[in-house]
Structure 1
Amino acid sequence: MAGILATGRAPVFAQGTTVHWLRWNDFVPASDQLLRKELLPAAEKALGIKINLETVNGNDLQPRITSAIQSGSGPDIIMLFNNHPQIYSESVIDLSDIAGRVSEAEDGYYDLCKSNSADGQKWISLPWTIVGAMIAYRKSWFDEIGSSTFPDTWEKYREVGKKLKAQGRPIGQTLGHTFGDAPTFSYPYMWSWGGTEVERDGKTVNINKKEVIESVKFMTAFWKEAHDEGGLAWDDTNNNRAFLSQTICATLNGASIYIESLRNPDKYITEKGAQLKTDIQHSPLPKGPAGQFAMHTYFSHVIPNYSKNQDGAKALLKWVHTKANYEPWFVSQKGFATPPTHEWEKHKLWEEDKVMAPFKIAGLLGQTPGYPLPSSGKKAAEVLTKYIITDMYAKAIQGAPAEDSVKWAEVELKKVYS
């Protein structure tokens, strides 16, 4: 690649090669604009190929790859979330060569990248980024009810949330079938109470125990007392809109809410006439009886083995992951996306806005579905895509006894892990 860029000569591909790249509609619109207007035209010139960039709602990506693999045709590069690549490991090409180059050049990948993107023998997807999940909250509203720092335990968060909801300022959270905010809340919450979907042997399902039942009972009361109860039906955009319209006091999210308030400072004004951006802070999830945990939304790309443009697709991934090309995209994210390697922790962007500081090391702190297993394999990916953990809590909130909700999850998990 260095030779190609130095000479300005494009590699030789079949005449008229077009690489179809399918991604989500980025929550930072400036980044999609940068791709379309600057980065991809530069890539086309450098590589001598045509690039067809298609963006869709994030929840539509998994149905698209499933359909494409079943039909044997579709995009050449597809973005996937979390451990979803594990589901398609036999239907995508080996990207170990590119992953190895990026890792060597950038001080190594975070462990969670390998857990989600490697299957034990090869890299089945190429890590793209990690979107840190933190609680965005209204600092002044918390101060008003005597919480000068964000609550560090679930019990404290429940009490603060109860007071704020009484003032018409509830917590906003989704437990719906949406790829980001629901699992990045429900999984760490369960772990913090001592629950896991499977034991360390990778076979034993032991979710039906006192600690998990207690977590469900607590969540059911916590939801009614402190949350916007309509959140069960939300996707990953509803809480953004609710926070920006100032109808909720806090929500687990990436940094997109804060970044939008920066982008349009005069559009979002508090009830006291201040710019909303001055009243947003970020905090990790509270700790529970078993400790404090996090799960972050992970992004990577696969090349399906049906692709007739595999060489062009690999060349594009190599090009976009070259530091000089990746950096403008990373900067356009303003910290919403954390790169997958340690090298970027040293970037000056993290020093420019202290509100974004908690996101700097998101890649170091997150666990992956299937925890405590070291690798988030195909079975854990199936559990995630079926929303079993999220639904365990949602069912209880909707009226099922906690014991029945946990028993349901146990049965569903055994179908996967047996």
Structure 2
Amino acid sequence: MAKGIYMPARQSALSRRQFLEITLGATASLSSILALQHPPAVFAQKRELNVLTTANYVPASDKKLEEHAQAFAKQAGITLKFDHLRSEQMPAKLAAEVTTQAWHDVVELDIMAAWLHQPNLLDVSDLVTDITQKMGDVYQFGRDSAFVRDRWLGVPYFWISFPASYRKDLFEQVAEKPPDTWEDLLRAGRKLKKLGHPVGIPISQCTDAVSSMLSILWSYGAKVMEADGTGIAINSKETAATVEYVKTLYNEAMEPEVLSWDNAGNNRFMTAGKGSWIQNPASHYISAKTAKLAVSEQIYFQLSPAGPSGRHTIVTPRSMGIWKFSKQTDLGKEFIRFLFDRERYIEYITSSDNYNHPIFTALEGHPVWSIDSKYEPMKTIGRYSHLYTWPAPPDPKAQIVIYNYIIANMYAKAVTGTPTKEAIAWAEGEIKRVYEKS
């Protein structure tokens, strides 16, 4: 029998222009396709399954997935190949596969990618029905992410929370408690920057930046779209208040390096011992703990800070989808069903040290939540977590707004000198352009 084959992550070098062209649905150029460094599936051998996932920030998680994939390949007598890409690369890669109608069979979908790519994804409602009968219902945000127009276009797999994380020893040095509000963070951040340990929130072209900026935006009562999803609402006095807040936080509690960070920037910032506070999943702590870094002893977690309109943050659901144009749709279903064996699924979730949270509500009391006492705040974070479109319903064009980093770029413009009104007007225009594009 053929053994499963694990393909290491392929790093593609896509320009910003290529990214925008592909994400907005333009025809991909030959050079951009070749830059992805993977031959189309039309050349694949018979009974070969090609899988694409986001590279997990906890390597043990990908290692466990590889182990399960190899077990499936051996059982099914097939060759199974993996590609892992950085989260920043996934939008362009998925768009390129839609353009060429080729390459991978099973793909990982984050946030609302199932909405964006709905015409090209296989209806897997039968598979979800079978799995939920065995595992129980998924969280509502998992359903909102993958249940598109009365059909499941992805099988909800896990979710990633977005708590705040702080250095307990540094906050004690400046006589501050973990910040309960964004104003508390500003006050403490001023002291911590003088101490040589600034706050670190990315204001750059990465999804962590979008996540943090939306957390602030929502907490001040602002929103990108109206709750019914029919109107653009970004241009408001509430948004202006958040821009002024971020400008002050950037100038008085942070350093310019945040303008160029990718999704791993704040991780490195914290594990290197420089950072005092970030907003991020638990990956930085897990990495520091695994490497036995002294700083891991001082890293703790808290809920995202509150603002005048309450406490809000984002949630990142992940699901597994199958392309309609795959020649191995039945095999893809077999593979996904294999992953959702109860014992195998729990083994996978546990391997991530609770970076990947179980998507099934029946597992709320599972010991995975108690792997580390520092994860205690994460048990309730789901109460304050929303999909990126909130308060509007899921929408395929909202995913493009996320992928194009319009919200993060609005704040980046403001902190680098663009007047607040101009930065907001620019964002409003960009969002309007996305929604008006046919």
CA drift of 1:398 comes to 1.3
| Superposition deviation, residue 41 in structure 1 | 2.1
1:295 corresponding residue in structure 2 = 314
| Counterpart residue type for residue 256 of structure 1 | S
For structure 1, which runs of at least 5 residues remain unmatched after alignment?
A: 1-14, 270-275
Q: Quote the Cα distance in structure 1 between the aligned partners of 2:147 and 2:417.
A: 39
Deviation at 1:48, TM superposition (A): 3.3
Answering whether residue 170 of structure 2 is matched by residue 141 of structure 1, we say yes
**Does residue 18 in structure 1 map to residue 48 in structure 2?**
yes
Distance 1:192 1:229, change over 3 A: same
Q: Does 1:203 align with 2:230?
A: yes
Who is 2:251 aligned against? 224
Partner AA of 2:113 in structure 1: H
Residues 1:66 and 2:95 are matched in the alignment: yes
Between the aligned partners of 2:91 and 2:321, the Cα distance in structure 1 is 12
Instruction: Output the amino acid matched with 1:80.
Output: L
Contact 1:137 1:280 in 2 (8 A): yes
Check if 1:259 corresponds to 2:272. Answer: no
The 8 Å contact of residues 95 and 124 in structure 1, kept in 2 or not, is answered as yes
Does 1:366 find its partner at 2:385?
yes
- Determine the structure 2 residue equivalent to 1:409: 427
Q: Measure, in 1, the Cα distance between the counterparts of 2:381 and 2:139.
A: 10
> 87, 97, 110: which one pairs with 2:126?
97
Partner amino acid for 2:372?
Answer: D
Alignment partners' CA distance in 1, 2:133 and 2:357:
18
Aligned to 1:117: 146
Contact 2:354-2:371 at 8 Å conserved across structures: no
C-alpha RMSD of the superposition: 1.7
Cα distance in 2, alignment partners of residues 300 and 333 from structure 1: 16
What residue number does 1:380 align with? Answer: 398
**3-state DSSP class of the match of 2:386?**
coil
Inter-CA distance 52–363: structure 2 relative to 1 (3 Å threshold): farther
**2:376 counterpart of 1:348:** no
1:153-172 deviation line (CA, Å, top 9, x unaligned): 11111010010001110011
Give 1:322's match in structure 2, choosing from 319, 341, 351: 341
User: For 1:104-140, what per-residue CA distance to the aligned partner results, in whole angstroms no more than 9, with x for missing partners?
Assistant: 3333111111221121221112212111111111001
2:186 pairs with 1:167: no
Q: 1:363 to 1:117 in 2, by over 3 A?
A: farther
> What secondary structure is seen at the aligned counterpart in 2 of 1:58?
coil
Q: What is the alpha-carbon distance in structure 2 between the residues aligned to residue 358 and residue 102 of structure 1? A: 29
2:258 counterpart SS class: helix
Q: Note the alpha carbon deviations across 1:335-389, whole angstroms, 9 max, x for none.
A: 111021112212112223210122235445311122112x311121121112122
1:9 aligns to what? none
Structure 1: distance between partners of 2:384 and 2:248: 28
**CA deviation after TM superposition for structure 1 residue 195, in Å:** 0.9
CA distance in 1, matches of 2:238, 2:381: 27
| 1:45 and 2:74 are equivalent in the alignment | yes
Alignment of 1:71-86 (within 5 A): 71-86=100-115
Q: What is aligned with 2:357?
A: 338
**Which amino acid is the alignment partner of residue 153 of structure 1?**
T
1:260-294 deviations in Å (ceiling 9; x for gaps):
122121xx22xxxxxx2221110121111111101
Q: Is the 8 A contact 1:173 1:232 kept in 2?
A: no
Structure 2 residue identity aligned to 1:352: I
TM-score by length of 2: 0.86
Q: CA deviation at 1:50?
A: 2.2
Distance in 2, Cα, partners of 1:33 & 1:82: 23
Deviation at 1:49, TM superposition (A): 2.7
Q: Which moved more, 1:216-225 or 1:340-349?
A: 340-349
Number of the residue aligned with 2:58: 28
- Residue 100 of structure 1, CA deviation: 2.2
Is 2:213 aligned against 1:186? Answer: yes
Other structure's SS at 2:186 match: helix
The Cα shift of 1:28 comes to 0.9
Q: 1:363, 1:189 → 2: CA distance?
A: 17
Query: 2: distance between equivalents of 1:132 and 1:88?
Result: 24
* C-alpha distance in 2 between matches for 1:33 and 1:381: 29
Q: Identify the match of residue 395 of structure 1 among 386, 396, 413.
A: 413
Partner letter of residue 359 of structure 1?
M
Query: 2:155 and 2:382 mapped to 1: Cα distance?
Result: 15
Aligned to 2:42: none
Cα distance, 1:46–1:362 mapped onto 2, change above 3 Å: farther
Contact 1:184 1:297 in 2 (8 A): no
CA contact (8 A) 1:117 1:300 kept: yes
Instruction: Give the gaps of 5 or more residues in structure 2.
Output: 1-44
Conservation of the 8 A alpha-carbon contact between 1:82 and 1:297: yes
The separation in 2 between residues aligned to 1:68 and 1:59, in whole angstroms, is 16
Distance 1:174 1:309 in 2: 40
SS of residue in 1 equivalent to 2:88: helix
* 1:234 matched to 2:266: no
2-structure distance, mates of 1:417, 1:195: 19
| Match of residue 135 from structure 2 | 106
Q: How many angstroms apart in 1 are the aligned matches of 2:249 and 2:153?
A: 40
**Higher alpha-carbon deviation: 190-199 or 94-103:** 94-103
Length-normalised TM-score, structure 1: 0.90
